[in-house]
Chain A
Amino acid sequence: MHEMGIAMQIAEIAVASIPEELQHSRVKRVNLKVGKLSAVVTDSLRFCFEVVTRETPLEGAVLAVEEIPVTARCKDCRHEWTIDSPVFSCSRCSSGAVELLSGRELDIESIEIAEEDG
């Protein structure tokens, strides 16, 4: 529901990441990692990103979203597994002492900038 705010943050970080010498270049792609536990709807985020980047160096850039699965480690038996249903106890020993290893990401990995000739 807060995709517009997220899209604005992504735009701000992406623009701030354009190196000095490439300030006049076009950003072709923004690579984003989104954990499956994060409350972000990807399609809605893409729509908002398109809206907020109009008439900016990000206009037309692809928002590439890599979905990160929820993985966990059992603090008791050290078992590691992927959580694909809302059950957060160890799939081997049933312990509830679980540490999440991934799934909460909402990270900008990188931006890709078109190489200029001039």
Chain B
Amino acid sequence: MTGRHENMSELFDFSFLHRPHHERSHHDHPGSDPRRHHDPQPAGGNNTGGKGSREIQVARRVLDANEEMARRNRQIFSDHGIFVLNMMSSPGSGKTTTLEKTLVRLMPEIRTAVIVGDICTTHDADRLAGSGAPVVQVNTDAFGGDCHLSAQMIEKAAAGIHLNSLDLLIVENIGNLVCPAEFDIGEDARVVVLSVTEGEDKPAKYPLMFRECDAALLNKIDLLPYLDYDRQAAVDFIHQVHPGMPVFEISAKTEEGLDAWIEWLTAAIRRKRSG
């Protein structure tokens, strides 16, 4: 994040509005004041006549720039007949291994490319490139160490992929159960990968993620004999947050359970193709 503050003037051109810093008294307001229109703030600048404030209605979504770009992405991908899957999870749940095994089963019949998001390193991209699929690595530290992929990053990454010869684009999002759920990137479906080495109650702790997804993969079931993990409790928590969501219990390592997941994914791709 260092350097971001210094860059503010490049990102927003406030120069035409700038006033000398000393002209204003420093903010002595607690941010939690719930009342409007009787603001006793000491006068700064020219506000000395005891007049109140004028309220300007804005009514805009804060993320509307991202949402607009996501709409554009979605249109571009649709024009090319590409199905876009946004894969999300906490760090270390086995997203990349799951993806490696998924690519082996999909390729070459389903022509697939991958966009991999990480804050740093190209380790995941290097692993996935072994599949033969085109892989674009997005490192978000260039964007300030962000915790999610935004529609703009996807637009930029997709520019490096030949969209004409593609059926499926898989986006491996940043390992994080909070932020990626908030950002539409122009995808058709979202899946969340959860592993049995995490708490069963993760879905209840991160409800937005599990509400927003269309399917969940419960990974590393090969480890169940060595853990005190209650898989039914995990599935129940998922369904408590998102009733009816498909849950695929898999081991990316032994490939147990992968067939049902691949079937779900290919059916979704076919549905999009047939409009």
A residues whose Cβ falls under 8 Å from a Cβ of B: 1-2, 4-6, 8-15, 17-19, 22-26, 28-29, 31-32, 37-39, 46, 50-52, 54-57, 59-66, 86-89, 95-98, 100, 106-118
Contact = CB atoms under 8 A, between A and B. Distances in A.
B91 interface: no
Contact of A59 (B27, B59, B147, B179): B27
Given A5-B146, A57-B14, A113-B53, A89 B240 contact: yes
A114 B23 CA distance: 15
Given A5-B144, A8-B11, A13-B58, 9 more contacts: A1-B176, A15-B12, A15-B17, A52-B8, A56-B8, A60-B26, A106-B63, A115-B47, A116-B47
B55 A112 contact: yes
B240 A87 contact: yes
A37 B31 contact: no
A99 B254 CA distance: 38
B153 to A, nearest CB: 12
24 contacts: A1-B147, A8-B8, A11-B12, A15-B14, A17-B58, A32-B62, A39-B178, A56-B18, A59-B27, A60-B24, A62-B39, A65-B31, A66-B34, A87-B240, A87-B241, A89-B240, A107-B61, A107-B62, A111-B55, A112-B37, A114-B51, A115-B52, A117-B47, A117-B48
A2 B147 contact: yes
Contacts of B8: 8, 52, 56
Range class of the B interface residue count: 35 or more
A22 B56 CA distance: 11
The residue among B11, B14, B58 with the most chain A CB atoms within 10 A of its own CB is B58
A68 B144 CA distance: 29
A117 B46 contact: yes
Contact of A114 (B4, B26, B47, B146): B47
A95 B244 CA distance: 10
B58 A39 contact: no
Contacts of A19: 56
Nearest to A114: B47
B199 interface: no
A14 B178 CA distance: 26
Contact of B208 (A13, A26, A38): A38
B243 A89 contact: yes
B148 to A, nearest CB: 6
Contacts of A5: 144, 146
